[in-house]
Amino acid sequence: MTPPKRDFLQIRGLSRDRLQELIEATLRHRALMSAAEDPEHNWDWTAAPRPLAGKIIANCFLEDSTRTRCSFEVAAQRLGATTINLTASGSSTSKGESLADTARTLAAMGVDAIVVRTAASGGAMLVADTVDCPVINAGDGRHEHPTQAILDMAVLSEWFGGIEQLVGKTVCIVGDIANSRVARSATHALTTLGADVRLVGPPTLVPPSLAHLTQRHGTVEVHHHLDAALDGADAIIMLRLQLERAAGGAVANDYRTHFGLTPHRFSNLPATTPILHPGPMNRGVEIDNTAADHATQSFVTEQVGMGVAARMAVLMNLLNPSRLSCWESLTQAVR
Amino acid sequence: MAPSKSRPTTTILRGGRLIDPASGLDATGDIVLEGGRVAEMSTARGALSTRADAEVLECSGLIVTPGLIDPHVHLREPGGEHKETIATGVAAAAAGGFTTVCCMPNTNPCLDNAALVAFVHQRAAAAGLTRVFVAGAATEGRKGERLAPMASMAAEGAVAFTDDGDGIESASMMHKVLATCASLGKVFMQHAQERTMTAGGAMNAGAVATRLGLGGWPAVAEELMVERDVRINQGIRARYHVQHVSSGGTVEILRRARAAGHTVSGEAAPHHLLLTDEACEGFDTNAKMNPPLRSRADVEALIAGVADGTIDVLSTDHAPHSTDEKALDFASAPFGIVGLECALALYAKALVHSGAIDWARLIALMTINPARLLGIEATGLGSLRQGGPADVTVIDPELAWTIRTADFKSKSRNCPYDGWSVKGKATAAFVAGRRIL
């Protein structure tokens, strides 16, 4: 009997244990990456096993992406898999082929997993319902971006000294929440792990209905005044102001003044408050250089590295659970 | 039961509960259908003249009513024949016990001239089951820019006007359309949707849309247009009808307007009486419709509106779409839900089994009231009376059955009801004395 297909589509509904398992695996892979970069260690990737050797992973990116796409590619190749890339332009989707048909076509070629990025909310679920191979959501419209949440949780866990340290912490997510899949996935993850979330931005981008996003261990509050929301915050996730979505006139030209992480606001934060941003950043809009490039408080670059680790963890989890243990013992040993 | 296309004969429906809301009749009796007319009706046992060659249908325990009327369906022909044709649409209507439907003009090309009204009548006559009346477009191409030839369409038999699928955006055009409808004595049916509030919307604005990351479509978009129209119509006094009311706010506006003596009415569809936006969870495109499914409070307000008479007509807004179209992602999939074949059971579930109204009232909402809305009551459609057309539906109110979309006569399957256990079904229907179910 074949076991049920494993997909990774959303954070909503994941148990705390499952979330913890993925975050811990991410941190182990991150340690391996650090070891490879560290000349003190007599180890690098050329010596690594190839647990996903022979697997082909289709990166189906129907919406523009730099870091997520490259990150999945690096992750897959570090694990020994080969990747094929499909983007909206230069594929049949530009000829009007539906998402389901594109997925069916890739699956028919026998790929071992499909990583999908689409502008359609629910698009990853649609692909997963269509094909028999595992599907990973790399961002579907405004719905979810679950691997981003895993990496963000890993970054925060590392900073605070353990996943359990997130219980009772307050995390501000600032920006265009209504249009953000990153904010949704992060909110589901944080509240599942016991952190409280403040969603912050102008009422046009942070409608009150967001307070009902989830009902897990942590609470969700909607805030329309950044300075008040930052008071008592333990960590801050700044979101990119999606200028391409601002066409509806929902963003006034005083956005930076009221919702940007300006040098003044940044200087008022405790020196222990980490600043995360999923990128790409609009410098001078939602975040200024002082915060974005800060040596100890900005985690923007660390997020990119953790992103590769998170995608390795998810790929391993879905594609090779049987060899996970031997791979994990290696990561333990190297650490 | 397979529809029989045999020539009109004499049929006696014996011992059923005759309900005719137009005359207030609600009693056990017999009815004779002959020569396309109701030849005799009697509630006195054995009072009917005997007819040796008549077919007799035992109706004991069943409800015998005027043929059911659905004033709002989409038959998709011309232009959308992969979703539905007039022939398959009336087959679905007949299967649901409807003897008359009124089809909407948002076909391709749209029904905005007399020739196309005649085309629909011809196709419906050829199909030979349920009667089809036409709601013509109020503006050319349903674009809201220039009046359609409503007088010519009315002369060809169009019974109502609407740009359904779209509301009439311009207040000035709305004024012209209402004035024309008033002069023709035809009802105007508004698809109430203030577009600037629904741009990018795929489902009801609220917690579920927020969670799923789908664009919201607020109830106020409907309410705004209805408020405006009632105001515009104040001096015109056309018969103004709000299609597929979805919001409790709209019910309240209609209640106030009716109390103030405005000539307004409203209709409700089965899905808005039963389902909420929670049905969209999991990105189920079968729950995507226009106007969208709303909150539990809206459902309750609609049912209360039906119970107190504010909403006096029921309609399915039968809107077929192919499985391929509904297999797109939620935001890209088309709006719409089919309804003809299970409507009666769903109305019964939402309104009768819930205790909001009784069967007699439900029958009124599905017979004489839509007949009056469409202005066809003078022909006798929508009522049961001696000499009137032999359009009759027989209902088994206790029949328990399971909705199987695979069994639909409609070309399309788009609804979230597959597998639902329901109670109440039309078991026979006659159009001009000829059995269609």
Per-residue HEC secondary structure of chain A comes to CCCCCCCECCCCCCCHHHHHHHHHHHHHHHHHHHHHHCCCCCCCHHHCCCCCCCCEEEEEECCCCCHHHHHHHHHHHHCCCEEEEEECCCCHHHHCCCHHHHHHHHHHCCCCEEEEEECCCCHHHHHHHHCCCCEEEEEECCCECHHHHHHHHHHHHHHHCCHHHHCCCEEEEECCCCCCHHHHHHHHHHHHCCCEEEEECCCCCCCHHHHHCCCCCCCEEEECCHHHHHCCCCEEEECCCCHHHHHHCCCCCCHHHHHCECHHHHHCCCCCCCEECCCCCCECCCECHHHHCCCCCECHHHHHHHHHHHHHHHHHHHHCHHHHHHHHHHHHHHC
Write down the pLDDT at residue A88: 76
Within 8 A of B210 by CB-CB distance, chain A residues are 178, 207, 209-210, 212-213
Chain B, residues 108-127, CB within 8 A of chain A, namely none
Whether A117 and chain B come into contact, CB under 8 Å, resolves to no
Closest partner CB to A100 (pick from B205, B213, B327): B327
> How many CB pairs lie under 8 A apart between chains A and B?
64
Note whether B211 contacts A213, CB cutoff 8 Å: yes
Closest partner CB to B213 (pick from A99, A141, A212): A141
Write down the pLDDT at residue A47: 80
Closest partner CB to B329 (pick from A120, A142, A209): A120
Amino acid B131 reads R
Whether B300 and chain A come into contact, CB under 8 Å, resolves to no
Note whether B211 contacts A214, CB cutoff 8 Å: yes
3-state secondary structure of B273: helix
Note whether A209 contacts B283, CB cutoff 8 Å: no
pLDDT digits (tens, 9 = 90+) for B284-303: 999 999 999 999 999 999 99
CATH topology match: A16-145+307-325 vs A147-302: yes
CATH of domain A16-145+307-325: 3.40.50.1370
Whether A201 and chain B come into contact, CB under 8 Å, resolves to no
In 3D space, the residue among A137, A110, A30 whose CA is nearest the CA of residue A75 turns out to be A30
Interface test with B, best of A97, A116, A140, A143 (most B CBs within 10 A): A143
Q: What is the ipTM of this complex?
A: 0.88
Note whether A212 contacts B212, CB cutoff 8 Å: no
Neighbours of A92 (CB within 10 A): 13
Closest partner CB to B329 (pick from A122, A181, A248): A122
Is residue B53 flagged as an active site residue? no
The answer to whether A266 and A290 are in contact (CB under 8 A) is: yes
pLDDT digits (tens, 9 = 90+) for B109-147: 999 999 999 999 999 999 999 999 999 999 999 999 999
Note whether A213 contacts B207, CB cutoff 8 Å: yes
Write down the pLDDT at residue A2: 53
Note whether B329 contacts A99, CB cutoff 8 Å: yes
Note whether A121 contacts B214, CB cutoff 8 Å: yes
What distance in Å separates the CA atoms of residue B239 and residue B182, rounded to the nearest whole number?
Answer: 7
In 3D space, the residue among B249, B308, B255, B246 whose CA is nearest the CA of residue B275 turns out to be B246
Average pLDDT over residues B273-280: 98
pLDDT > 90 in chain B, percent: 95
Closest partner CB to A143 (pick from B206, B212, B332): B212
Within 8 A of A118 by CB-CB distance, chain B residues are 329
Neighbours of A215 (CB within 10 A): 9
Average pLDDT over residues B319-328: 96
Whether B205 and chain A come into contact, CB under 8 Å, resolves to yes
Note whether A126 contacts B283, CB cutoff 8 Å: yes
Query: Residue B127: CA atoms inside 13 Å, Cβ hemisphere, count?
Result: 25
Catalytic site residue from B30, B112, B163, B317: B317
Within chain A, what is the greatest distance between any pair of CA atoms?
61
Beta-carbon contacts of residue B261 (< 8 Å; ≥ 6 apart): none
Class of domain A147-302: alpha beta
Interface test with A, best of B196, B197, B210, B332 (most A CBs within 10 A): B210
* Length, in residues, of chain A: 335
Note whether B213 contacts A121, CB cutoff 8 Å: yes
Question: B169 to chain A, minimum CA–CA distance in Å?
Answer: 19
In 3D space, the residue among B329, B326, B284, B206 whose CA is nearest the CA of residue A121 turns out to be B329
Beta-carbon contacts of residue B359 (< 8 Å; ≥ 6 apart): B19, B63, B352, B397
Tokens 């801050």, residue?
A236
Taking phi first (over 0 means left), then psi (-120 to 50 degrees means alpha), and beta for anything else, what does residue A126 get?
Answer: alpha
Bridge partners of B400? B423
For the sheet with A113-118, list strands across it.
A82-87, A56-61, A113-118, A135-140
What distance in Å separates the CA atoms of residue B169 and residue B193, rounded to the nearest whole number?
Answer: 8
Q: Residue A143, Cα to own-chain centre: how many angstroms?
A: 12
3-state secondary structure of B420: coil
Write down the pLDDT at residue A326: 53
pLDDT digits (tens, 9 = 90+) for B398-418: 999 999 999 999 999 999 999
Domain extent listing, chain A: 16-145+307-325, 147-302
Whether B206 and chain A come into contact, CB under 8 Å, resolves to yes
Within 8 A of B207 by CB-CB distance, chain A residues are 209, 212-213
Give the angle B258-B263-B266 at the CA atoms, nearest 5°. Answer: 70
Interface test with B, best of A93, A98, A213 (most B CBs within 10 A): A98
Question: A133 to chain B, minimum CA–CA distance in Å?
Answer: 19
Chain A, residues 215-244, CB within 8 A of chain B, namely none
Within 8 A of A121 by CB-CB distance, chain B residues are 212-214, 283, 329-331
Beta-carbon contacts of residue A134 (< 8 Å; ≥ 6 apart): A5, A6, A7, A8, A112, A113, A114, A318, A319
Note whether B213 contacts A142, CB cutoff 8 Å: yes
Tokens 């960590």, residue?
A235
Tokens linked to B327: 């297999």
Note whether A126 contacts B329, CB cutoff 8 Å: yes
Question: A239 to chain B, minimum CA–CA distance in Å?
Answer: 16
Write down the pLDDT at residue A98: 83
Tokens linked to B195: 């577009």
Q: Is the pLDDT of residue B431 over 70?
A: yes
Average pLDDT over residues B241-264: 98
Average pLDDT over residues B24-48: 90
pLDDT lower than 70: segments of chain A: 1-4, 90-96, 244-248, 321-335
Write down the pLDDT at residue B392: 98
pLDDT digits (tens, 9 = 90+) for B334-369: 999 999 999 999 999 999 999 999 999 999 999 999
Whether B327 and chain A come into contact, CB under 8 Å, resolves to yes
What distance in Å separates the CA atoms of residue B297 and residue A65, rounded to the nearest whole number?
Answer: 41
pLDDT digits (tens, 9 = 90+) for B50-88: 777 889 999 999 999 999 999 999 999 999 999 999 999
Neighbours of A231 (CB within 10 A): 12
Question: A120 to chain B, minimum CA–CA distance in Å?
Answer: 6
Chain B, residues 328-357, CB within 8 A of chain A, namely 328-332
